[in-house]
Amino acid sequence: MIQEYDLVIIGRGAAAFSAAIRTSEITSNQASIAMIGFGPIGGTCVNVGCVPSKYIIEAAKVVSTQRNPRYPGIKQSDPVVEFGKLMESLRGAVEEERKSKYEDVLKFYPNITMYEGRASIISRDTVKVTSKLGEEDIKGYNFIIATGSSPMIPKIEGLEDTGYLTSDSVWSLNELPGEIGILGGGFVGLEIGQALHRLGSSVRIIKKHDTISRGIEREVGSELIRALENDGISFLIGRDVEKVYQRGDKKIISTRYKGKIEEIEVDEILIASGRKPNVAGLSPENAGIEYSDKGIKVNDDFSTSNPLIYAAGDVVDQKYRLETLSAREGAIIASNIFNHSSKGINLQEVPWAIFTEPQLASVGYTEDEYNRNFGKAVVRTIPLVMVPKARILREDIGLFKIVADEDTGKIVGIHVLAPYAAEFIIEAVIAIKNGYTYNDIIENSHIFPTVAEGIKLTSQSFTRDMTKMSCCVE
């Protein structure tokens, strides 16, 4: 007999768990839920995304501060990095997080049944789960597709034969590559690149364009590249990778640069060319669901073109791919289904960050975007050195930029490159969400001295000349 569930969730990452837990809360654990997935439970974030990347970044920071003490009088030292041990501890941390935040949590929800396998949609109310054990059909009254995304592998001659790492496989390394070439330089490449560089690899980021990726405030992106170059990472910009091959025990990345062939010799290649939605083999078209190579098309309430089927997280065709966003979408969908509501998320109020050092954190419109859409942005940018705490930290690369509406003074975007930026961008989120003006920001007392004060100082710069201000002027 075919099992029938109140809710069938395809996927078992952040979006799926969030949807399942919220559904359970709303229905007092009475909705029967099937969760289908393969690979380690918890999906990308805990296993191969946020958790291991932030772990290695923090470890690499420790090495970097010892190697480059910021203050005169503190002697530089060269810590010995036992990379194998570090990676073993990283994998241990991932396992612990997966156990405590995913596996153990399931015990509280007897209404959730896990299915191991790959799902493909058969019809509006049936999916087929294929596993080593065979095939099984499952029926549901409600469906959520939360199949996530995977590293996009560019079509480059010789790549498959030469071998490469991705953000899925880099965590199983036990030996630090001496020289590493990173193809593409989105946030994943920059974060992992800086960490490996600080642990001792020589890192070259090979890119076509001089921007980090679309949608980043230009000045902030270029300042981040400057900061990373200053840290010791090489950016090889304007390169088209033509082929890759093995020469002895080296990997050769053959690029075209200014019309000539330029060969780059490395020990390892890391592909960081973005991510693709996991729709292969899923057959959303069998339920009338529209999708493209950017992901599943959704309406404001995350319903798909089949109004009875929803989609959440990285598989959705949307501007950001973030753990927090995926989880919020899962929770909102659960509420939309069981409360019969139609809530959405305003992406202009969703912050995102690159956890390099300094950190890039951003929310809302860039200057260009606002001008393109509304034609009337007014902006202010201050360099990080204007912030007293940054001078105490002896950090000089970074900036704060605020984009506001020219007529109302309401803040519509804040973009920061600074130490701890990811920790304090929430002030910007609250400002944008509540329609605050730069004057509203100034009227809130900020702690002195903090890097976060940069947001207040930038707000002040809309109406005052910051070079004439003493450090504590309110």
Partner 1 sequence: MTEKKVTMRVFGMTCDDCVRTVTDGLEKQGADVLSISLSNGIAIVKIDDAKISAENLIKAPVFGEESHYKAQLRRVE
Ligand X SMILES: Cc1cc2nc3c(=O)[nH]c(=O)nc-3n(C[C@H](O)[C@H](O)[C@H](O)COP(=O)(O)OP(=O)(O)OC[C@H]3O[C@@H](n4cnc5c(N)ncnc54)[C@H](O)[C@@H]3O)c2cc1C
Nearest CB to partner 1, comparing residues 58 and 300: 300
Q: Does 314 bind ligand X (CB under 6 A)?
A: yes
Contact pick of 49, 284, 351, 364 for ligand X (by CB under 6 A): 49
- Amino acid sitting at position 99: K
Determine the Cα–Cα distance for residues 361 and 415; give it in Å rounded to an integer.
6
Contacts of residue 404, defined as CB under 8 A and 6 or more positions apart, other chains included, come to 377, 378, 379, 410, 411, 412, 437, 438, 462
Contact pick of 118, 197, 239, 389 for ligand X (by CB under 6 A): 118
Partner whose footprint covers residue 339, from partner 1, ligand X, none (CB < 5 to 8 Å by kind): partner 1
In the complex, which residues of this chain contact partner 1 (CB under 8 A)? 6, 26-28, 30-31, 141-142, 335, 338-341
Nearest CB to partner 1, comparing residues 339 and 444: 339
Contact pick of 32, 111, 142, 167 for ligand X (by CB under 6 A): 167
H or E stretch including 59?
A: helix 50-67
Q: For the chain, state the CA radius of gyration.
A: 24
Which residue's structure tokens are 């997966």? 98
Partner whose footprint covers residue 146, from partner 1, ligand X, none (CB < 5 to 8 Å by kind): ligand X
Nearest CB to ligand X, comparing residues 57 and 455: 57
Site for ligand X in 271-310 (CB under 6 A): 278, 281-282
Partner whose footprint covers residue 30, from partner 1, ligand X, none (CB < 5 to 8 Å by kind): partner 1
Of 90, 265, 255, the closest CA to residue 170 belongs to 90
Contact pick of 4, 39, 276, 429 for ligand X (by CB under 6 A): 39
CB of 48 to ligand X, least distance (A): 6
Determine the Cα–Cα distance for residues 270 and 159; give it in Å rounded to an integer.
11
The residues facing 309 across adjacent strands are: 143
CB of 27 to partner 1, least distance (A): 4
Partner whose footprint covers residue 111, from ligand X, partner 1, none (CB < 5 to 8 Å by kind): none
Which residue's structure tokens are 């940054």? 390
| DSSP assignment of 127-150 | EEEEETTEEEEEEEEEEEE---EE
Of 345, 344, 362, 343, the closest CA to residue 353 belongs to 362
Determine the Cα–Cα distance for residues 212 and 191; give it in Å rounded to an integer.
12
**Residue range at the interface with ligand X (CB under 6 A); choices 8-16, 215-223, 251-259, 450-458:** 8-16
Side-chain-facing half-sphere of 172: CA atoms under 13 Å? 5
Q: Does 323 bind ligand X (CB under 6 A)?
A: yes
| DSSP assignment of 221-238 | HHHHHHHHHHHT-EEE-S
Determine the Cα–Cα distance for residues 286 and 256; give it in Å rounded to an integer.
43
Partner whose footprint covers residue 44, from ligand X, partner 1, none (CB < 5 to 8 Å by kind): ligand X
Contact pick of 21, 31, 36, 271 for ligand X (by CB under 6 A): 36
Site for ligand X in 181-200 (CB under 6 A): 188
Q: Does 420 bind ligand X (CB under 6 A)?
A: no
Partner whose footprint covers residue 28, from ligand X, partner 1, none (CB < 5 to 8 Å by kind): partner 1
Of 194, 205, 197, the closest CA to residue 269 belongs to 205
CB 16 within 8 A of CB 318: no
Nearest CB to ligand X, comparing residues 312 and 379: 312
Nearest CB to partner 1, comparing residues 148 and 330: 330
Partner whose footprint covers residue 461, from partner 1, ligand X, none (CB < 5 to 8 Å by kind): none
Partner whose footprint covers residue 430, from ligand X, partner 1, none (CB < 5 to 8 Å by kind): none
Partner whose footprint covers residue 141, from partner 1, ligand X, none (CB < 5 to 8 Å by kind): partner 1
**Residue range at the interface with ligand X (CB under 6 A); choices 82-90, 255-263, 313-321, 358-366:** 313-321
Q: Is the peptide bond before 449 cis (omega within 30 degrees of 0)?
A: yes
Nearest CB to ligand X, comparing residues 184 and 377: 184
CB contact burial 333-344 (16+ within 10 A = b; e otherwise): bbbbbbeeeeee
Contact pick of 64, 147, 304, 356 for ligand X (by CB under 6 A): 147
Q: How many residues bind ligand X (CB under 6 A)?
A: 37
Report helix, strand or coil for 264: strand
Of 81, 256, 108, 235, the closest CA to residue 173 belongs to 81
Nearest CB to partner 1, comparing residues 182 and 337: 337
**Residue range at the interface with ligand X (CB under 6 A); choices 134-142, 321-329, 405-413, 445-453:** 321-329
CB contact burial 359-396 (16+ within 10 A = b; e otherwise): bbbbbbbbbebbeeeeeebbbbbbbbebbbbbeebebe
Partner whose footprint covers residue 221, from ligand X, partner 1, none (CB < 5 to 8 Å by kind): none
**Which parts of this chain interact with ligand X (CB under 6 A)?**
10-16, 36-39, 43-45, 49-50, 53-54, 118-119, 146-149, 167, 188, 278, 281-282, 313-314, 321-324, 326, 355
